[in-house]
């Protein structure tokens, strides 16, 4: 198999780290674009991967970075923005995508893999609306694109089970907005496999793949599963929507935004799929139960050691 020259945006994020490792193992030449090399550890990159400092909002810089590439992979995405007016989401999802499309056309690169989100363009959140606008731009570009719409993604170091594990460690009671919101979590390895299979497959061009797992859980069930795996007994306190909106509004002003008003609006739309993209690609989905001990094993071990220490005092 002839290796490809790939340019990846957003390659240092959760999905990006897993995808880049797989692509490098497959022998591809990969250039990661970043606006700030100082926040990354180049020594941790797999062999064959080059990290390049580029202002991704500079059209000329993007065009030069794409020159000679066989494909561009855009993984850039944010879950929260400064304020609550949609500008941050539009800049990261819509404006950047349009710049990528224009730079690809000028550089003569036709193949694009675009990360999006399940429910893109639906609901009332700035996040989902901006994802939908980005998809519309990609579809109108005339390029050889493939769009991936994952539900919430789980795996080692994720923002789902690992995030809740950190939250509940010191919180015996967790007030939870939209506790009944439903998700079909998809394993990061399955997302990576889908993207790798589509990279060379001409049949995937012009296709949108919904990526979701075989199990559907409510938010409350995810928190309880996390607590059990960590060996903790925790109480989930579902909040009525009025209080959930208030919780989002309060957290809008908390540094790091563990929750936000836009998160609340996103949760009004269940993250479950309709047309199984993994099945279309011949991928058997990974169940949460098969990976949860691995994902949270270290957290559970630490909690067990702490419990033994307290018992011995």
- Is it the case that residue 50 has pLDDT exceeding 80? yes
**According to the model, what pLDDT value does residue 146 have?**
98
Average pLDDT over residues 14-26: 96
All domains in the chain, ordered by first residue: 5-154+184-213+273-280 (3.40.50.720)
Give the lowest-confidence range in 48-52, 169-173, 255-259, 298-302: 298-302
Average pLDDT over residues 212-221: 98
- Sheet containing 144-150: order of strands: 49-53, 29-34, 5-9, 71-74, 111-115, 144-150, 207-211
- Please work out, in degrees rounded to the nearest 5, the angle formed at the alpha carbon of residue 274 by the alpha carbons of 146 and 87: 60
- Is it the case that residue 33 has pLDDT exceeding 70? yes
Counting residues of the chain whose pLDDT is more than 70, the rounded percentage is 92
d(CA 266, CA 122): 9
**According to the model, what pLDDT value does residue 38 have?**
61
Question: Do residues 127 and 152 make contact, with C-beta atoms less than 8 angstroms apart?
Answer: no
- Band (pLDDT 50/70/90 cuts) for residue 236 is very high
d(CA 29, CA 303): 41
Name the average pLDDT for the chain. 93
- Is it the case that residue 44 has pLDDT exceeding 80? no
Provide the token pair at 53.
């400092």
Q: What digits encode the pLDDT tens for the residues 86-132?
A: 999 999 999 999 999 999 999 999 999 999 999 999 999 999 999 99
Q: In what helix (H) or strand (E) does residue 16 lie, and over which residues does it extend?
A: helix 14-25
Residue whose tokens read 């010191």: 170
């Amino acid at each position: 198999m002839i290796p490809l020259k790939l340019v990846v945006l957003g390659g240092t994020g959760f999905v990006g780290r897993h995808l880049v490792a797989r692509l490098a193992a497959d022998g591809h030449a990969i250039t990661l674009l970043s606006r700030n090399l100082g926040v990354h550890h180049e020594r941790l990159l797999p062999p064959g991967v080059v990290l390049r400092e580029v202002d991704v909002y500079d059209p000329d810089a993007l065009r030069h970075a794409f020159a000679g590439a066989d494909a561009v992979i855009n993984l850039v995405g944010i879950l929260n923005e400064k304020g609550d007016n949609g500008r941050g989401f539009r800049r990261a999802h819509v404006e950047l995508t349009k710049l990528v499309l224009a730079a690809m056309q000028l550089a003569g690169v036709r193949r694009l893999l675009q990360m999006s989100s399940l429910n893109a363009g639906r609901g009332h959140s700035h996040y989902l609306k901006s994802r939908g606008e980005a998809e519309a731009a990609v579809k109108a570009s005339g390029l050889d694109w493939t769009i991936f719409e994952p539900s919430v993604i789980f795996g080692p170091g994720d923002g789902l089970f690992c995030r809740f594990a950190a939250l509940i460690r010191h919180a015996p009671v967790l007030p939870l907005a939209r506790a009944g919101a439903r998700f079909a979590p998809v394993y990061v390895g399955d997302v990576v496999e889908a993207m790798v299979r589509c990279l060379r497959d001409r049949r995937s061009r012009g296709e949108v793949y919904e990526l979701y797992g075989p199990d559907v859980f409510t938010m409350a069930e995810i928190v309880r599963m996390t607590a059990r795996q960590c060996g903790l007994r925790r109480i989930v306190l579902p909040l009525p929507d009025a209080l959930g909106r208030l919780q989002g509004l309060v957290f809008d002003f908390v540094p790091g935004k563990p929750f936000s008003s836009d998160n609340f609006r996103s949760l009004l739309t269940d993250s479950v799929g309709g047309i199984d993209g993994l099945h279309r690609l011949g991928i058997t989905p990974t169940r949460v139960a098969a990976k949860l001990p691995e994902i949270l094993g270290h957290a559970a071990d630490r909690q067990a050691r702490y419990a033994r220490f307290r018992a011995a005092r």
